[in-house]
């Protein structure tokens, strides 16, 4: 029998994992060559990284509910398709990806959802972290004239998918061209939902242990698994 996945809180953690990653600011009158150089530097930096961690602040606006939700926590990444997101506020939520299995764990609900990572859609965040995403190959790129007072050496670019994406209308990235990080992102989907992520306190190549990305369900936790995509959904 197919069991339902119940949550009393809105799953704000899902937005960044399924489609996105990501303060600085655009410099006016930046030439195309400088933009290309910055983008290439970012791609090279992430391709060379073995691991990194950062703090994040997230703000998600849900269009249909006219509601904005805020969250914060830490994220870790390691080559080999490993990621770990820990939401500390407003409620503890944890996402583990060990390269094969994706776990969404809600300690307060005593529930976890288990997914076969190979069945999930291609993830922009994971591709970028792995250094395999070529921005100009996948997106039409334009320079955004916005400013943030705390970053001097940066630009902001707006990305529109060349091929329609079911969960992504546009993605704005703030690029620190000097340190070669993506420090902020703003994602908008086709129904008007918007998620902004601000990253800080980057730590690169510190030798994060594989155990950070491994999840073992605690005793008594309810485990939910989505039905196989290759099989028809069971009748209610």
pLDDT mean over 184-193: 91
CATH fourth-level superfamily of 18-224 = Lipoprotein localisation LolA/LolB/LppX (2.50.20.10)
Query: What confidence category does residue 131 fall into, taking pLDDT thresholds of 50, 70 and 90?
Result: low
- Give the pLDDT score at 2: 36
Q: 197 with 20: CB under 8 angstroms? A: yes
- Measured distance CA(39)–CA(181) in Å, rounded: 10
Percent of the chain with pLDDT over 70: 75
Tokens of residue 158, six digits: 């707006």
- Give the pLDDT score at 81: 86
Find, among 84, 72, 66, 100, the residue nearest to 12 by Cα: 72
The pLDDT mean for the chain works out to 80
* Predicted TM-score of the model (pTM): 0.78
- Measured distance CA(211)–CA(203) in Å, rounded: 18
Query: What confidence category does residue 152 fall into, taking pLDDT thresholds of 50, 70 and 90?
Result: low
- Give the pLDDT score at 146: 60
Contacts of 29 (CB under 8 A, 6+ apart): none
Domain boundaries of the chain, sorted by first residue? 18-224
pLDDT mean over 19-44: 66
Find, among 18, 55, 70, the residue nearest to 200 by Cα: 55
Backbone angles phi, psi at 152, to 5 degrees: -100, -40
pLDDT digits 0-9 by tens, 50-99? 999 999 999 999 988 889 999 999 999 999 889 999 999 999 999 999 98
Find, among 140, 196, 147, 129, the residue nearest to 165 by Cα: 140
């Amino acid at each position: 029998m197919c069991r339902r996945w119940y949550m009393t809180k809105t799953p704000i953690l899902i937005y960044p994992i399924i489609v996105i990653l990501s303060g600085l600011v655009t410099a006016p009158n930046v030439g195309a060559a400088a933009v290309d150089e910055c983008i290439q530097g970012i791609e090279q930096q992430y391709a060379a990284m073995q691991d990194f961690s950062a703090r994040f602040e997230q703000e998600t606006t849900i269009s249909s509910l006219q509601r904005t939700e805020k969250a914060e926590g830490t994220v870790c990444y390691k080559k080999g398709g490993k990621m770990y997101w820990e939401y500390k506020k407003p409620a503890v939520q944890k996402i583990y990806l060990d390269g094969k299995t994706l776990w969404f764990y809600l300690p307060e609900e005593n529930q976890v959802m288990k997914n076969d990572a190979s069945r999930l859609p291609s993830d922009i965040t994971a591709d970028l972290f792995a250094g395999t995403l070529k921005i100009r190959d996948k997106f039409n790129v334009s320079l955004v004239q916005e400013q943030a007072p705390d970053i001097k050496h940066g630009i902001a670019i707006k990305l529109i998918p060349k091929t329609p994406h079911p969960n992504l209308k546009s993605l704005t990235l703030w690029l620190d061209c000097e340190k070669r990080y993506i420090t902020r992102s703003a994602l908008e989907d086709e129904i008007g939902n918007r998620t902004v992520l601000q990253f800080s306190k980057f730590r690169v190549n510190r030798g994060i242990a594989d155990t950070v990305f491994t999840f073992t369900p605690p005793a008594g936790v309810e485990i939910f698994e989505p039905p196989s995509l290759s099989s028809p959904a069971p009748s209610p």
